[in-house]
Amino acid sequence: MKEQNIPYKIYLSEDELPKQWYNLRADMKNKPAPLLSGKTMKPITLEELSEVFCTELAKQELDETTAYFDIPEEILKFYKMYRPAPLTRAYFLEEKLQTPAKIYYKFEGNNTSGSHKLNSAIAQAYYAKKQGLKGVTTETGAGQWGTALSMACSYFDMDCQVYMVKVSYEQKPFRREVMRTYGANVTPSPSTTTEVGKRILAAHPGTNGSLGCAISEAVEAAMKQEGYRYVLGSVLNQVMLHQSIIGLETKAALDKYGITPDIIIGCAGGGSNLGGLIAPFMGEKIRGEKDYRFIAVEPASCPSLTRGTYAYDYCDTGMICPLSKMYTLGSNFMPSASHAGGLRYHGMSSTLSQLYDDGLMEAVSVEQTKVFEAAEMFARVEGTLPAPESSHAIRVAIDEALKCKETGEEKTIVFGLTGTGYFDMFAYERFHNGEMSDYIPTDEEIKEALKNLPKLD
Amino acid sequence: MKEQNIPYKIYLSEDELPKQWYNLRADMKNKPAPLLSGKTMKPITLEELSEVFCTELAKQELDETTAYFDIPEEILKFYKMYRPAPLTRAYFLEEKLQTPAKIYYKFEGNNTSGSHKLNSAIAQAYYAKKQGLKGVTTETGAGQWGTALSMACSYFDMDCQVYMVKVSYEQKPFRREVMRTYGANVTPSPSTTTEVGKRILAAHPGTNGSLGCAISEAVEAAMKQEGYRYVLGSVLNQVMLHQSIIGLETKAALDKYGITPDIIIGCAGGGSNLGGLIAPFMGEKIRGEKDYRFIAVEPASCPSLTRGTYAYDYCDTGMICPLSKMYTLGSNFMPSASHAGGLRYHGMSSTLSQLYDDGLMEAVSVEQTKVFEAAEMFARVEGTLPAPESSHAIRVAIDEALKCKETGEEKTIVFGLTGTGYFDMFAYERFHNGEMSDYIPTDEEIKEALKNLPKLD
């Protein structure tokens, strides 16, 4: 019997909550490559970036030297609505696996948006409000980000316009209604409210929509309305900064009980959760204070780190946003229609890309049926029904714990449980009915998509 | 500005968690009337009751004198998976209402079943397992209870057979898939797996099913399978006992900060949440140690306490279960089809009925559009999107807080937030679309349903 003096759930008290975000870039020796303006193909200036984002957020985006940013009081207050998020010792899972490993997970699904996205949504809404904006526009696919932004805008009494991929709008009416509950204006995309939407509808009358199209509509809507900006829930440095709250809380909770992790695992789509979770630990590693293994887990059907190229690419399918140097599969890459598990972004945060390129972080890809097997096992033994995205991390945490069983090592594993799967039951249904398949893109398909990379001097 | 030294969320530590359930009946001067056997119309014996329930549960059901029951270790361990449930200070709601009242809510939706039902499901599954049973059968309407029981049975590796009202099975596929994730066998009711199901299908080929029919099927399925029992998630004394964990935790959290509530509010369908929440406080009131106001909130479309009759009645539409003396609308009573907000049981726990009859507790009924207005306001300011059931309590908590605003009284209000509304978005959709109406049964309709009351000597 292992020692059981660690509680099942470690909750920080209010005065133990982090008061600052941590900017990992300040400690990185090789900084992530700068964003390039799509017009000039030169590093983007604060002025240029401020046309897209609120000035404060643009500053955060470009700041490579300030290690800590004070979290504004208003945001700290909002965080108390759903934070601290518990760090849970997975005693039940350990018992099920009969592993000597000690497993912990940081649960970020303890709020109505159902994921960690709220951490950055509230920050972006706050700075938009502070700048006197009337509202923001965004796109959403599955709906996690749209829901989080709706909640944040509702809190600051700001208009929130969400372009939701048409097929999700129709097939996921629950997420849509959650957003409406928070007062958001949800439009199925493509729509007739924008020029680009009208063009796409004319060319493809029966289209189900795509994330790329929804982004284009949201950007157009922001541009043509006075007092609006477009906002984004992942990939960006500012998002990594806000999400550092995940890692800082995790570290504070571990430190409280004198626990040092050996392996830290997170799922990675655009990188917002993983970047936030590992930030303070990676800082220690870079500064040479401690050593950890970091593992990014991505779907085998959208393997940007494990099979992509490290190069400048467009962040969006519409090629409207600035360019970022990142591991990418090409901005045209679309995961197979059989892919149900989220994490479908073609690229990866520039910060995480640089860390991976520097060998400071590992990456693995996993097949979705294996992911859902892990998800179901986790739900049954730990109680919480996980989001498909989060279940990628569960899969690899289980795999690492099983390796410990073989070797007898008592490693301490921490992973990020980014959210709940309550609005993803169609994917679970396909899994239960044996209708889920694993499609892995061929080398040719990836090569084809990478032809679209921008040509730089 | 009011004092802000109470944290937003009060979490008990593991060693502060209650180790015993509290049996309020032990302190009641007027005990609830005994259950009657449907066969003999006499008080049911332990032997008779043990044919329906596991022996330990039957003992709990009949025990009016033991004040405290030790919670078995296995159940305490399971409780740690999702407990302590936070007691939250509703600072955001207070600010929105501009009330001098201090509002707290006990949140029981912090688990995948999404409600407090899990507290009793795990206990019932435990005793079934301990007795060597193979499995249990039950019915579910909206699916909260079925989900909770699935989770509990999965934990003890027991078979769980859920008869789900056909219309819910088809229109609420998400709940169904959650149950399947936990390994439950979910059958749309009426089905061809039981004799009663076949009879009903023959008589009404296109029927959508009803809770009464699902109960009958579940009972039949339990009777004809060796090693099975039928279990129930509300109304019963044993359920009140298990749910006392809600009130005990609430009281421990309040005591920790020296807070004494003035008013305690809970929604009431069969009474499982309200009975659990108020138990230790009501004990103090009965023993003359303290005084509190208790308010049961029920839907205006199903007003058993406020407009029903206190009499012996059948607990189920099929008239198979024992009879209970309770406030009832008649076992044939069905709330209008326009009713979306849960709490559709025709009667009320015999314990709560007796307390109400003794004048120890108040009851109010509220219309559902007012309930959803409160739900939406609460979601926007407190973040959590509440279950329609829980929102009945929110409505009255808001109303009481607004009265304080008028009088200037700084009352302390505690209410039970029994669960989340993530699987109830169809009801929210109707509300958003202005398609929700308030139908209140006429006196004639209630009189008609009450004609069905059993004739006793």
- Classified by CATH at the fold level, domain A9-17+84-114+237-452 comes out as Rossmann fold (3.40.50)
Q: Which residues of B fall within a CB distance of 8 Å from A151?
A: 383
DSSP secondary structure letter of residue A419:
B
| pLDDT of amino acid A21 | 98
| pLDDT of amino acid B216 | 84
Q: Which residues of B fall within a CB distance of 8 Å from A422?
A: 112, 114, 174, 178, 422-423
Residues A329 and A342 sit within 8 Å (Cβ to Cβ): no
Tell me which residues of chain B have a C-beta less than 8 Å from any C-beta of chain A: 7-9, 11, 13-14, 80-82, 92, 110-112, 114, 151, 154-155, 173-174, 177-178, 180-183, 376, 379-385, 420, 422-423, 425-426, 428-429, 432
Q: Which two tokens stand for residue B130?
A: 């301990």
Q: Does position A4 have pLDDT exceeding 80, yes or no? A: no
How close is the nearest chain B Cα to the Cα of A451, in Å? 41
- C-alpha pair distances (Å), A437 with each of A301, A369, A372: 11, 7, 11
Residue in the block written with tokens 């990142």: A326
| pLDDT of amino acid A2 | 44
Mutate to test the interface with A, among B5, B151, B177 (most CBs of A within 10 A): B177
How close is the nearest chain A Cα to the Cα of B212, in Å? 27
Q: Which two tokens stand for residue B105?
A: 């809510």
| pLDDT of amino acid B457 | 66
- Nearest by CB to A432, from B8, B13, B180: name it: B180
Residue ranges of chain B with per-residue pLDDT less than 70: 1-4, 318, 457
Residue A406: Cβ-neighbour burial (10 angstroms; 0-12, 13-18, 19+) = exposed
Residues 6+ apart with CB under 8 A from B155: A380, A381, B78, B122, B125
- Nearest by CB to B81, from A114, A177, A383: name it: A383
State in Å, rounded, how far the first CA of chain B is from the last one. Answer: 62
Contact B112 A420 (CB under 8 A): yes
Beta strands across the sheet bearing A412-417? A9-10, A87-89, A102-107, A412-417, A263-267, A293-299, A362-366
The rounded distance, in Å, linking the Cα atoms of A235 and A217 is 19
Q: Which residues of A fall within a CB distance of 8 Å from B170?
A: none
| pLDDT of amino acid A324 | 94
Contact A376 B181 (CB under 8 A): yes
Q: Which two tokens stand for residue B194?
A: 């039981």
| pLDDT of amino acid A457 | 66
The rounded distance, in Å, linking the Cα atoms of B332 and B314 is 9
Q: Which residues of B fall within a CB distance of 8 Å from A425?
A: 173-174, 177-178
Q: Hey, which residues does A43 pair with through a beta bridge?
A: A36
How close is the nearest chain B Cα to the Cα of A113, in Å? 9
Residue A1: Cβ-neighbour burial (10 angstroms; 0-12, 13-18, 19+) = exposed
Question: Greater confidence, A457 or B188?
Answer: B188
Residues B384 and B411 sit within 8 Å (Cβ to Cβ): no
| pLDDT of amino acid B320 | 73
The rounded distance, in Å, linking the Cα atoms of B382 and B396 is 16
**Which run of H or E residues covers position B79?**
helix B73-82
Q: Which two tokens stand for residue B402?
A: 């607004």
Mean pLDDT of A349-374: 97
Q: Which two tokens stand for residue A217?
A: 């509509």
Give the residue from B353, B144, B119, B350 showing the smallest Cα distance to B243: B119
Helix (H, G, I), strand (E, B) or coil at A250: helix
Residues A30 and A354 sit within 8 Å (Cβ to Cβ): yes
How close is the nearest chain B Cα to the Cα of A14, in Å? 7
Q: Which residues of B fall within a CB distance of 8 Å from A14?
A: 7-8
How close is the nearest chain A Cα to the Cα of B48, in Å? 34
Q: Are domains B9-17+84-114+237-452 and B22-70+117-230 of this chain identical in fold?
A: yes
| pLDDT of amino acid B349 | 96
pTM of the model: 0.95
Instruction: Give residue limits of the domains in chain A.
Output: 9-17+84-114+237-452, 22-70+117-230
Half-sphere exposure of B392 (CA within 13 A, CB side): 31
Q: How many residues does chain B have?
A: 457
Cα four-point dihedral sign B329, B333, B335, B336: negative
- C-alpha pair distances (Å), B447 with each of B303, B308, B311, B444, B450: 13, 9, 14, 5, 5
Residue A92: which pLDDT band, with cuts at 50, 70 and 90?
very high
- Classified by CATH at the fold level, domain B22-70+117-230 comes out as Rossmann fold (3.40.50)
Q: How many residues does chain A have?
A: 457
The rounded distance, in Å, linking the Cα atoms of B92 and B344 is 31
Q: Which two tokens stand for residue A86?
A: 């518990």
ipTM for the complex? 0.94
How close is the nearest chain B Cα to the Cα of A6, in Å? 10
Mutate to test the interface with A, among B380, B420, B423 (most CBs of A within 10 A): B380
Residues A272 and A243 sit within 8 Å (Cβ to Cβ): yes
How close is the nearest chain B Cα to the Cα of A305, in Å? 31
Half-sphere exposure of B83 (CA within 13 A, CB side): 28
Contact A379 B112 (CB under 8 A): yes
Give the residue from B127, B131, B134 showing the smallest Cα distance to B161: B134
| pLDDT of amino acid A1 | 36
Mutate to test the interface with A, among B112, B155, B176, B435 (most CBs of A within 10 A): B112
Q: Which residues of B fall within a CB distance of 8 Å from A82?
A: 383
Q: Does position A316 have pLDDT exceeding 80, yes or no? A: no
Q: Quick: pLDDT tens for A19-72.
A: 999 999 999 999 999 999 988 999 999 999 988 888 999 999 999 999 999 999
